[in-house]
C-alpha cells in the first residue's frame, strides 16, 4: 500500500449512505435474520416501555427508572465477578440480569427509605443513590479489568447499549416480556389509572394502593432490566419517559395516551434500530432515544391542542379578536363623539392614536374588519357597514354596561373603570349581559331595554382634540 | 526526599488534589441545588453538557479549556431553558421534564461523539463516565524546598490548576452572593419582591454548576459528578439546621471523600493482594455514599439512632407517668396508701422490657417504695402522680365542656394530652373552666399544690 492510500483511509470519514433497496429491506425485516431480530426486539421493547412509562409518568415515578437502571451496574458487575470466581462463564445473560435486578431493586428501596424516613427530598435521594451505586459499579468494573480471567468488554455494552450483540434468545425474551407487560397493563389498567389520578381516593375506596404501586414498579423494573442490554442503563429512562411525555401532547384521555405512548415507543425502537443497522457508528440505544426525541419535538411543536404552535396561533387569534373589538368600538365612539352620522367616512388619521398601535398593526386590524365586511374603505377613510355598526353598538354597549356595573356594585371610581372594562367586554356572554341589564335597570341606571347608556367618563380619541 | 515520597508527590498527589478540589467546588454549589429541590438539575446538567463539549470540540478542533468550558456552559443554560419550556408547555412535573431533556441531549451527545471519534478526535465515552484521574501526573523537583516555589506551582498539571481555579471562582461567587442565594433558596418569591433578580441568580448558579461539572469531568467523570454535587451537601444537611454550618460541613465531607476515596482506591487493593488499584473516581463516590449512610444512621439530630433514642426516652417518660398515675388511682379507690404487686402493675401498663426499665428508674429516683414484690408511692411520687391525674381530668372536662365531646369519648385523648401539658397550661385549663371540682365522670380533680 502506498502512502497516499494510508492517508486517505485514515481521513476517510464520509458516511456510506445505504441504497433505497437496503433501507427497504431492513425496514421490512428482510436484511438477514440478525438484523430482523434486532429490529423486532427493539420495537417490542419500545412498545413495552411506552406502556409502562405512561403509567409511571402519571404516577410521578418516571425518574425511579433512572435510579433503578443506574443502580443495576454494581449488581451486574458483582454477578460477573461471582460467576467468574466460581469458574463459570461470566456472560450468562440471565444470571447477569438477575444480579442487575437485585441491585436495582435495592437502589429503589434505598431511595424510598431516604425520601420517606430522612429529611432528604425525593430528588436528592434519587440523585445520591444513582451516583453512589454507579460509582460502586465502576469500582467493580475496574476490579474485573484487573482480574486475570476477566473480560469486562461485554459489560460496558450495558452502559451505552449495544443491540448488535443481541442473540436469538434475547430477542425472544424482549418479545415475551413485551407481551407480558401488555397483558399485565391491560389487566391492571383500571387499578393503575386509579392510583395515577387519585391515590388517596383509591385508598379510601379500599384499593390496595401499596400493592398496586408495587406491581407498577415491578413492570418498570422488568422493562428497565430487559432494556439494559440494548439501550443501556443511562438512556433506558428516556424510553420510559419520552414516549409518554410526547403522548401527553396529543390527548387528554388515559386510554389513548397509553396507546399513543406505546406507538411512539415502538416506532422509536423500530426506526432507531433500523438506522443503527444501516449506518456505521450509530449506537442503537442513542439512535432510538434520538428518534424518540424527534417525535417528542414534533409533538411539542405541532400537537393540535397542546402543541406550542397551536397555542401560539390560539393566542394570536385571541389578540386579533380583541383588537378588532377595540377598533370597532373606537370607530363607533369617534362618530358618536363628533355627532356625525354613522354613514360618514372617517379619515384614517382619526383612527385611534390612544391605543398606541403602530401604523402596521392598525393596517392589519383594519384589514381584518374589512375582510369581515364590517367597514367600507374609500380613499384613506373608513365607514362602518350595517353589520359593523351593529357589532360596534353591541360592543360599546357591553363596555358601558360593565363600566356602570363596576361603579354601581364594586364602588369603583368612574375614572378607573375604562381600563378593566376593556378586558371584560370581549367575553361577556348574552346571559351575563342580560343579568347586567336587569340589575342596572332596577337601579334606574339604564334608560330602557336595548338602549345605549351614556359613557360615564370622557372619551379621549385622536379627533377629540381637533374638534 | 525518599523515593516513596517522591513517587507519591509525582503520581498520587496531583490526582488526589484534583479530585478533592473538584469535589469541593461541586459540593459548595450543590448545597443550593439540594435546598431548592433542584438536585436533579445537577443530574440533568452533568448529562447534558456532553453534546456541548463535543460540539465545542468539533467546531474548534482543540481540547483547550476555554472552548470546552464555553460549550459546556452554553449546554448548561440550554438545558435549564429547555427544561423550563418542556415543563410549561408539556405540563409535566419538573423531574419528568428534566428526564426528557437530559436523556435526549445525552443521546445526541453520544451520537456526536461516535461520529467525532471516527475523525481521530480523542474523545472516549468511557472517560466521560469514569474520569481519568490516573492519567494526571507531573515531574516535581527533587528537593522539598523547591517544591514550594512559584515556578513549581506553574508546572503543576493543568487539570489540577483548573480545578483549583474553579473552586476559587465558585467560592467567590458563593461568598459574594451568600445573602441573595440564601433568600432565593428558601423563598424565591420574597427574593423577587425584595428586588433581587432571582431568575438571573438562578441562571448564574446554573452556569457555575455547569462549570464545576466540566472541571470535574476530567477528575471523576460525568455520573460521579452527581455524587459530588449531592452527597456531601445531603450529608451535611442531615447534620445541621444552619445553612452556613451545612456549607462548611459539606466542604469538609467533600474533601474527606476525595482524599480518603483516592487513598483507598490507590493503596488498599494492593495491600490486600490485588495486582492493580481500582477506579479512584468510583471509590470517591462510594466513600461519599458511605459518609451519607453514616449520617443517616448517626447524625446528631436527624439520624436514625438519635431519633430512636428520643422515642425511647419519650416512651419511658410516658410509662413512668402511667405507672405513678395507676397507683395513685388505686389509692383514691382505697382511700389510703396501697401496695400493689409489682408484676400486675407492669402488665397493666403494657408489659415487656421498657415498663420494667421505667419502674427501675422510678425506684432509683425514689418515687416508689418497694418491699419484696409490692410497690407503693413515696411522697414525691404521689406529688407527681397527682399532677398528672389533675391534668388528665382537667383535659377530660375541657374536652366535654368547651369542645362538646361526649364524656365517653374523651378518655383516650386526655390519656395522650396529659403527658404534654405542664404547669401553665394546666393552670389555664383550670381557669377557663372556673376551677371545676370534678371531671365528667364524677371523679374529683386533685387540687394543685
Q: What does the DSSP 8-state code read for residue A374?
A: S
Closest CA to B255 of B278, B237, B232, B236: B232
Name the A residues in 312-351 with CB < 8 Å from any B CB: none
Flag whether residue A292 sits within 8 Å of chain B, measured between CB atoms: yes
Q: What does the DSSP 8-state code read for residue A357?
A: -
Closest CA to B230 of A336, A411, A110, A123: A123
Confidence grade of residue A246 (pLDDT, cut at 50, 70, 90): very high
Positive or negative torsion for Cα B281, B284, B288, B294: positive
Q: Is A377 helix (H, G, I), strand (E, B) or coil?
A: strand
Identify which has the larger pLDDT, B257 or A154: B257
Mean pLDDT, rounded, of chain A: 83
- Dist. CA A169–CA A93, nearest whole Å: 10
Positive or negative torsion for Cα B383, B386, B388, B394: negative
A236-247 and A254-278 helices, crossing angle to 10° = 130
C-alpha cell at A342: 354613522
Give pLDDT, residue B126.
64
In this predicted model, what pLDDT tens digit does every residue of B354-379 receive, in sequence order? 888 888 888 898 888 888 788 888 98
Checking if the pLDDT of A1 tops 60, the result is no
Cβ atoms within 10 Å of B224's Cβ, excluding its own:
35
Least confident of A98-112, B206-220, B341-355: B206-220
**CA distances from residue A192 to A213, A241, A390 in whole angstroms, order as listed:** 8, 17, 55
Q: Summarize the confidence of residues A110-117 as an average pLDDT.
A: 91
Checking if the pLDDT of A463 tops 50, the result is no
Please name the helix (run of DSSP H) or strand (run of DSSP E) that holds residue A102, with its range, or none.
helix A93-117
Instruction: Tell how far CA B6 is from the center of its chain.
Output: 39
- Dist. CA A358–CA A119, nearest whole Å: 56
Q: What does the DSSP 8-state code read for residue A381?
A: E
Instruction: Tell how far CA A355 is from the center of its chain.
Output: 37
- What is the C-alpha R_g of chain B? 32
Q: Summarize the confidence of residues B389-409 as an average pLDDT.
A: 89
Flag whether residue B232 sits within 8 Å of chain A, measured between CB atoms: no
Judge: A308–B99 Cβ closer than 8 Å, yes or no: no
Half-sphere exposure of B20 (CA within 13 A, CB side): 16
Identify which has the larger pLDDT, B352 or B171: B171
Q: How far apart are the first and last CA of chain A?
A: 95
CB A289 within 8 A of CB A275: no
CB B368 within 8 A of CB B355: no
CB B288 within 8 A of CB B228: yes
CA distance A70 to chain B (A): 9
Cβ atoms within 10 Å of A243's Cβ, excluding its own:
32
CA distance B197 to chain A (A): 25
CA distance A64 to chain B (A): 10
CA distance A157 to chain B (A): 11
CB B142 within 8 A of CB B3: no
Judge: B231–A311 Cβ closer than 8 Å, yes or no: no
Residues 6+ apart with CB under 8 A from B424: none
Residues 6+ apart with CB under 8 A from B350: B319
Residues 6+ apart with CB under 8 A from A369: A324, A327, A328, A375, A388
Give pLDDT, residue B271.
80
Checking if the pLDDT of B385 tops 70, the result is yes
Give pLDDT, residue A298.
94
Positive or negative torsion for Cα A433, A434, A439, A443: positive
In this predicted model, what pLDDT tens digit does every residue of A7-26 receive, in sequence order? 334 444 556 677 777 777 77
Flag whether residue B302 sits within 8 Å of chain A, measured between CB atoms: yes
Phi, psi of B288 (to 5 degrees): -65, -35
C-alpha cell at A415: 375614572
Give pLDDT, residue B127.
65
Closest in A13, A118, A248 to B296, CB measured? A118
Judge: B234–A128 Cβ closer than 8 Å, yes or no: yes
Closest CA to A74 of A127, A124, A139: A139
Flag whether residue A241 sits within 8 Å of chain B, measured between CB atoms: yes
Closest in A245, A281, A311 to B96, CB measured? A245
Identify which has the larger pLDDT, B1 or A279: A279
Q: What does the DSSP 8-state code read for residue A380?
A: T
Q: Summarize the confidence of residues A389-411 as an average pLDDT.
A: 87
Identify which has the larger pLDDT, B438 or A462: B438
Identify which has the larger pLDDT, B301 or A260: A260
Closest CA to B45 of B91, B106, B90, B89: B106
Judge: B34–A124 Cβ closer than 8 Å, yes or no: yes
- Dist. CA B101–CA B87, nearest whole Å: 10
- Residue of chain B whose alpha carbon sits nearest to that of A276: B111
Mean pLDDT, rounded, of chain B: 85
Identify which has the larger pLDDT, A280 or B288: B288
- Dist. CA B334–CA B338, nearest whole Å: 7
Give pLDDT, residue A4.
40
Confidence grade of residue B119 (pLDDT, cut at 50, 70, 90): low
Confidence grade of residue A153 (pLDDT, cut at 50, 70, 90): low
CA distance A383 to chain B (A): 42
**CA distances from residue A11 to A330, B56, B313 in whole angstroms, order as listed:** 70, 20, 75
Closest CA to A258 of A69, A61, A64, A58: A58
Checking if the pLDDT of B255 tops 90, the result is yes
Give pLDDT, residue A354.
63
* Strand B374-377, strand B368-371: pairing: antiparallel
Flag whether residue B294 sits within 8 Å of chain A, measured between CB atoms: no
Least confident of A294-308, A444-458, B307-321, B351-365: A444-458
| Geometric angle at alpha carbon B408, from B404 and B409, rounded to 5° | 60
- Residue of chain B whose alpha carbon sits nearest to that of A285: B107
Question: Which residue of A130, A132, A239 is the best one to mutate when testing the B interface, meaning the one whose CB has the most B CBs within 10 A?
Answer: A132
Residues 6+ apart with CB under 8 A from A107: A67, A68, A70, A71, A72, A129, A130, A133
For A383-435, the DSSP string reads EE-HHHHHHHHHHHHHHHHHHHHHHHHS---GGGHHHHHHHHGGG--HHHHHH
Complex ipTM value: 0.85
Name the A residues in 116-135 with CB < 8 Å from any B CB: 117-121, 123-124, 126-128, 130-135
Confidence grade of residue A48 (pLDDT, cut at 50, 70, 90): very high
Q: Is A375 helix (H, G, I), strand (E, B) or coil?
A: strand
Q: Summarize the confidence of residues A396-422 as an average pLDDT.
A: 85
Cβ atoms within 10 Å of B275's Cβ, excluding its own:
9
CA distance A120 to chain B (A): 7
CA distance B271 to chain A (A): 14
Confidence grade of residue A99 (pLDDT, cut at 50, 70, 90): very high
In this predicted model, what pLDDT tens digit does every residue of A29-45 receive, in sequence order? 776 777 788 888 889 99
Buried b (16+ CB within 10 A) or exposed e, A35-71: bbbbbbbbbbbbbbbbbbbbbbbbbebbbbbbbbbbb
CB A270 within 8 A of CB A46: yes
A126: chain B residues, CB-CB within 8 Å: 39-40, 43
- Residue of chain A whose alpha carbon sits nearest to that of B280: A139
Phi, psi of A402 (to 5 degrees): -65, -40
Confidence grade of residue A466 (pLDDT, cut at 50, 70, 90): very low
- Dist. CA A313–CA B124, nearest whole Å: 45
Name the B residues in 248-277 with CB < 8 Å from any A CB: 265, 269, 274-277
Residues 6+ apart with CB under 8 A from A304: A250, A310
Share of chain A above pLDDT 90, in %: 24
Name the B residues in 54-93 with CB < 8 Å from any A CB: 86, 89-93
- Dist. CA A391–CA A315, nearest whole Å: 22
Checking if the pLDDT of B202 tops 70, the result is yes
Q: Summarize the confidence of residues B391-398 as an average pLDDT.
A: 90
Checking if the pLDDT of B418 tops 80, the result is yes
- Dist. CA B377–CA B124, nearest whole Å: 78
Q: Which of A162-176, B132-146, B402-416 has the highest mean pLDDT?
A: B402-416
Flag whether residue B304 sits within 8 Å of chain A, measured between CB atoms: yes
Question: Which residue of B50, B104, B296 is the best one to mutate when testing the A interface, meaning the one whose CB has the most A CBs within 10 A?
Answer: B104
Judge: A136–B96 Cβ closer than 8 Å, yes or no: no
Judge: B119–A13 Cβ closer than 8 Å, yes or no: yes
Confidence grade of residue B289 (pLDDT, cut at 50, 70, 90): very high
CA distance A457 to chain B (A): 35
Question: Which residue of B110, B124, B291 is the best one to mutate when testing the A interface, meaning the one whose CB has the most A CBs within 10 A?
Answer: B110
In this predicted model, what pLDDT tens digit does every residue of A202-243 receive, in sequence order? 999 899 998 998 999 999 999 998 888 878 888 889 999 999
Environment class of B324 (CB within 10 Å of its CB; exposed 0-12, middle 13-18, buried 19+): buried
Give pLDDT, residue A3.
41
Instruction: Tell how far CA B101 is from the center of its chain.
Output: 27
Flag whether residue A435 sits within 8 Å of chain B, measured between CB atoms: no
Checking if the pLDDT of B3 tops 70, the result is yes
Confidence grade of residue B203 (pLDDT, cut at 50, 70, 90): confident
Helix/strand/coil (H/E/C) assignment for every residue in chain B: CCHHHHHHHHHHHHHHHHHHHHHHHHHHHHHHHHHCCCHHHHHHHHHHHHHHHHHHHHHHCCCCHHHHHHHHHHHHHHHHHHHHHHHHHHCCCHHHHHHHHHHHHHHHHHHHHHHHHCCCCCCCHHHHHHCCHHHCCCCCCCCHHHHCCHHHHHCCCHHHHHHHHHHHHHHHHHHHCHHHHHHHHHCHHHHHHCCCCHHHHHHHHHHHHHHHHHHHHHHHCHHHHHHHHHHHHHHHHHHCCCHHHHHHHHHHHHHHHHHHHHHHHHHHHHHCCCCCCCCHHHHHHHHHHHHHHHHHHHCCCCCHHHHHHHHHHHHHHHHHHHHHHHHHHHHHHHCCCCCEEHHHHHHHCCCCHHHHHHHHHHHHCCCEEEECCEEEECHHHHHHHHHHHHHHHHHHHHHHHCCCCCHHHCHHHHHHHHHHCCHHHHHHHHHHCCCCCECCCCCECCCCC
> Cell match 374529683: residue?
B444
- Residue of chain A whose alpha carbon sits nearest to that of B96: A62
Checking if the pLDDT of A467 tops 60, the result is no
Amino acid at each position: 500500500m502506498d502512502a497516499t492510500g494510508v492517508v486517505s483511509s485514515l481521513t476517510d470519514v464520509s458516511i456510506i449512505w445505504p441504497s433505497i433497496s437496503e433501507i427497504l429491506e431492513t425496514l421490512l425485516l428482510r436484511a438477514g435474520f440478525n438484523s430482523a431480530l434486532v429490529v423486532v426486539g427493539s420495537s417490542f421493547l419500545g412498545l413495552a416501555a411506552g406502556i409502562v412509562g405512561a403509567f409511571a409518568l402519571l404516577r410521578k415515578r418516571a425518574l425511579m427508572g433512572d435510579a433503578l437502571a443506574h443502580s443495576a451496574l454494581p449488581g451486574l458487575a458483582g454477578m460477573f465477578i461471582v460467576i467468574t470466581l466460581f469458574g463459570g462463564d461470566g456472560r450468562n445473560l440471565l444470571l447477569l440480569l438477575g444480579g442487575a435486578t437485585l441491585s436495582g431493586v435495592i437502589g429503589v428501596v434505598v431511595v424510598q427509605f431516604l425520601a420517606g424516613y430522612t429529611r432528604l427530598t425525593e430528588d436528592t435521594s434519587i440523585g445520591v443513590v444513582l451516583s453512589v451505586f454507579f460509582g460502586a459499579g465502576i469500582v467493580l468494573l475496574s476490579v474485573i479489568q484487573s482480574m486475570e480471567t476477566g473480560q469486562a468488554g461485554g459489560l460496558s455494552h450495558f452502559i451505552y447499549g449495544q443491540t448488535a450483540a443481541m442473540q436469538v434468545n434475547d430477542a425472544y425474551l424482549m418479545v415475551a416480556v413485551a407481551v407480558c407487560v401488555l397483558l399485565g397493563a391491560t389487566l391492571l389498567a383500571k387499578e393503575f389509572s386509579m392510583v395515577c389520578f387519585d391515590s388517596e381516593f383509591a385508598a379510601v375506596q379500599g384499593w390496595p394502593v401499596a400493592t398496586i404501586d408495587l406491581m407498577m414498579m415491578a413492570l418498570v423494573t422488568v422493562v428497565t432490566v430487559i432494556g439494559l442490554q440494548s439501550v443501556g442503563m443511562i438512556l433506558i429512562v428516556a424510553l420510559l419517559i419520552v414516549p409518554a411525555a410526547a403522548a401527553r401532547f396529543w390527548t387528554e384521555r388515559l386510554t389513548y395516551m397509553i396507546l399513543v405512548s406505546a406507538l411512539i415507543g415502538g416506532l422509536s425502537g423500530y426506526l432507531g434500530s433500523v438506522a443503527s443497522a444501516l449506518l456505521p457508528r450509530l449506537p442503537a440505544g442513542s439512535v432510538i432515544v434520538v428518534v424518540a426525541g424527534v417525535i417528542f419535538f414534533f409533538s411539542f411543536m405541532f400537537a393540535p391542542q397542546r402543541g406550542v404552535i397551536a397555542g401560539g396561533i390560539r393566542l394570536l387569534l385571541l389578540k386579533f379578536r380583541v383588537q378588532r373589538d377595540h377598533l370597532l368600538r373606537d370607530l363607533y365612539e369617534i362618530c358618536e363623539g363628533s355627532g356625525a352620522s354613522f354613514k360618514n367616512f372617517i379619515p384614517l388619521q382619526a383612527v385611534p392614536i390612544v391605543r398606541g398601535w403602530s401604523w402596521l398593526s392598525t393596517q392589519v386590524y383594519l384589514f381584518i374588519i374589512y375582510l369581515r365586511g364590517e367597514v367600507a374603505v374609500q380613499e384613506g377613510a373608513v365607514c362602518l357597514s350595517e353589520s359593523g355598526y351593529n357589532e360596534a353598538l353591541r360592543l360599546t354597549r357591553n363596555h358601558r354596561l360593565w363600566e356602570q356595573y363596576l361603579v354601581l356594585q364594586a364602588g369603583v371610581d368612574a375614572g378607573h373603570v375604562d381600563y378593566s372594562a376593556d378586558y371584560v367586554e370581549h367575553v361577556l356572554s348574552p346571559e351575563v349581559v342580560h343579568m347586567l341589564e336587569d340589575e342596572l335597570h332596577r337601579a334606574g341606571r339604564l334608560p330602557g331595554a336595548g338602549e345605549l347608556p351614556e359613557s360615564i367618563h370622557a372619551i379621549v380619541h385622536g379627533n377629540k382634540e381637533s374638534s | 526526599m525518599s523515593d516513596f515520597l517522591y513517587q507519591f508527590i509525582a503520581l498520587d498527589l496531583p490526582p488526589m488534589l484534583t479530585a478533592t478540589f473538584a469535589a469541593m467546588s461541586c459540593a459548595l454549589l450543590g448545597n443550593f441545588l439540594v435546598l431548592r429541590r433542584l438536585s436533579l438539575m445537577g443530574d440533568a446538567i452533568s448529562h447534558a453538557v456532553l453534546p456541548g463539549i463535543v460540539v465545542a470540540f468539533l467546531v474548534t478542533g482543540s481540547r483547550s479549556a476555554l472552548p470546552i468550558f464555553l460549550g459546556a456552559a452554553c449546554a448548561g443554560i440550554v438545558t435549564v431553558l429547555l427544561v423550563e419550556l418542556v415543563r410549561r408547555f408539556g405540563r409535566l412535573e419538573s423531574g419528568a421534564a428534566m428526564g426528557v431533556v437530559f436523556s435526549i441531549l445525552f443521546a445526541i451527545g453520544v451520537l456526536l461523539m461516535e461520529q467525532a471519534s471516527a475523525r481521530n478526535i480523542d474523545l472516549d465515552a468511557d472517560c466521560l463516565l469514569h474520569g481519568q484521574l490516573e492519567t494526571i501526573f507531573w515531574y516535581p523537583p527533587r528537593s522539598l524546598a523547591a517544591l514550594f516555589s512559584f515556578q513549581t506551582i506553574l508546572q503543576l498539571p493543568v487539570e489540577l490548576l483548573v480545578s483549583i481555579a474553579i473552586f476559587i471562582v465558585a467560592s467567590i461567587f458563593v461568598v459574594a452572593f451568600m445573602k441573595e442565594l440564601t433568600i432565593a433558596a428558601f423563598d424565591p418569591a420574597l427574593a423577587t419582591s425584595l428586588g433581587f433578580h432571582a431568575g438571573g441568580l438562578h441562571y448564574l448558579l446554573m452556569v457555575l454548576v455547569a462549570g464545576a461539572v466540566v472541571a470535574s469531568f476530567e477528575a471523576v467523570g460525568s455520573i460521579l459528578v452527581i455524587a459530588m454535587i449531592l452527597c456531601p451537601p445531603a450529608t451535611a444537611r442531615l447534620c445541621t439546621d444552619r445553612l452556613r454550618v451545612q456549607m462548611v460541613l459539606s466542604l469538609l465531607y467533600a474533601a474527606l471523600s476525595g482524599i480518603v476515596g483516592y487513598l483507598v482506591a490507590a493503596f488498599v487493593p494492593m495491600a490486600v493482594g490485588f495486582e492493580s488499584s481500582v477506579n479512584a473516581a468510583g471509590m470517591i463516590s462510594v466513600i461519599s455514599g458511605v459518609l451519607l449512610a453514616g449520617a443517616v444512621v448517626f447524625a446528631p439530630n436527624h439520624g436514625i439512632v438519635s431519633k430512636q433514642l428520643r422515642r425511647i426516652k419519650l416512651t419511658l417518660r410516658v410509662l413512668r407517668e402511667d405507672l405513678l398515675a395507676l397507683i395513685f388511682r388505686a389509692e383514691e379507690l382505697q382511700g389510703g396508701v396501697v401496695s400493689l404487686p409489682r408484676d400486675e402493675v407492669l402488665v397493666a401498663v403494657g408489659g415487656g422490657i421498657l415498663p420494667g426499665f421505667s419502674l427501675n428508674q422510678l425506684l432509683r429516683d425514689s418515687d416508689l417504695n418497694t418491699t419484696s414484690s409490692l410497690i407503693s408511692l413515696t411522697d414525691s411520687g404521689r406529688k407527681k402522680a397527682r399532677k398528672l391525674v389533675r391534668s388528665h381530668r382537667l383535659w377530660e372536662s375541657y374536652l366535654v365542656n368547651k369542645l362538646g365531646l361526649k364524656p365517653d369519648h374523651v378518655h383516650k385523648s386526655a390519656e395522650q394530652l396529659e403527658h404534654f401539658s405542664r404547669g401553665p397550661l394546666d393552670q389555664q385549663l383550670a381557669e377557663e373552666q372556673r376551677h371545676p371540682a370534678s371531671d365528667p365522670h364524677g371523679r374529683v380533680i386533685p387540687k394543685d399544690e
